[in-house]
């Protein structure tokens, strides 16, 4: 029977996180080798289960590392990347007690490292900033007559980045009646 190495899709592995992947190899090869810049990874061939396991806990970021699996005279090359840990935006609930002319501060909980925070939404007098616990949407919605709105509900798009990885969420606020 001919040796066949099952291809694998590009893998994004978070730096500092434990990783394990089995690659199936059929055809009873007599030898299996894995090569490439495998910093932080090892491999083991398990002929009873017809697979080679690639595992490790990478410590350094890397983009598109080529991993070549050789079984007898058959080769397959796939790629893996070691990416930063993605930030996670916590659960956001609808904020419905916002009033015109009254300062508001809405915390945005984010776990994990954040290199850049972006909040996009209507320009209704609110700003945002990054904080030690995530972010904050803050300010005072004006009471002036030139700040008439056609709606009382507003949505803000939140993006928390750590290098190339990110998380997104939507925050909805509602002006209270009479404001």
Assess whether the region 4-83 and the region 88-175 belong to the same CATH fold. yes
Quote the pLDDT of residue 168.
97
Domain boundaries, the chain: 4-83, 88-175
Fold topology of 88-175: Immunoglobulin-like (2.60.40)
Pick the CATH number of 4-83 from 3.30.1860.10, 3.90.550.10, 2.60.40.10, 1.10.3720.10: 2.60.40.10
What backbone phi and psi angles, to 5 degrees, belong to 145?
-70, -20
In the chain, count of helices (H) and strands (E)?
Answer: 0, 16
CA distance 151 to 33: 64
The per-residue DSSP string of 5-67 comes to EPP---EEEETTS-EEEEEEEES--S-EEEEE--TTEEEEEETTTTEEEEEE---S-EEEEEE
Q: What angle do CA 84, 170, 163 make, to 5 degrees?
A: 15
**Do 62 and 49 form a contact (C-beta atoms < 8 A)?**
no
Is the pTM above the cut of 0.75? Answer: no
Which pLDDT tens digits describe the chain residue by residue (179 residues)?
899 999 999 999 999 999 999 999 999 999 999 999 888 899 999 988 899 999 999 999 899 999 999 999 999 999 999 999 889 999 999 998 888 899 999 999 999 999 999 999 987 889 999 999 999 999 998 887 555 667 788 999 999 999 888 999 999 999 875 54
């Amino acid at each position: 029977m001919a040796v066949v190495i099952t291809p694998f899709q590009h893998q994004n592995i978070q730096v500092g996180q434990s990783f394990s992947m089995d690659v199936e190899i059929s055809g009873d090869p007599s030898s299996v080798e894995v090569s490439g810049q495998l910093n932080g990874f090892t491999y083991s061939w398990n002929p009873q289960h017809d697979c080679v396991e690639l595992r490790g806990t990478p410590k350094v970021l890397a983009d598109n590392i080529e991993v070549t699996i050789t079984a007898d005279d058959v080769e397959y090359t796939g790629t893996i990347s070691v990416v930063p840990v993605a930030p996670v935006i916590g659960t956001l609930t609808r904020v419905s007690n916002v009033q015109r002319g009254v300062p508001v501060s809405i915390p945005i909980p984010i776990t994990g490292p954040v290199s850049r925070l972006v909040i996009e939404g209507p320009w209704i007098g609110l700003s945002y900033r990054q904080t030690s616990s995530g972010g904050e949407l803050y300010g005072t919605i004006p009471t002036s007559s030139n700040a008439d709105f056609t709606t009382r509900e507003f949505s803000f798009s939140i993006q928390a980045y750590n290098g190339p990885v990110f998380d997104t969420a939507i925050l909805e606020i509602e002006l209270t009646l009479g404001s």
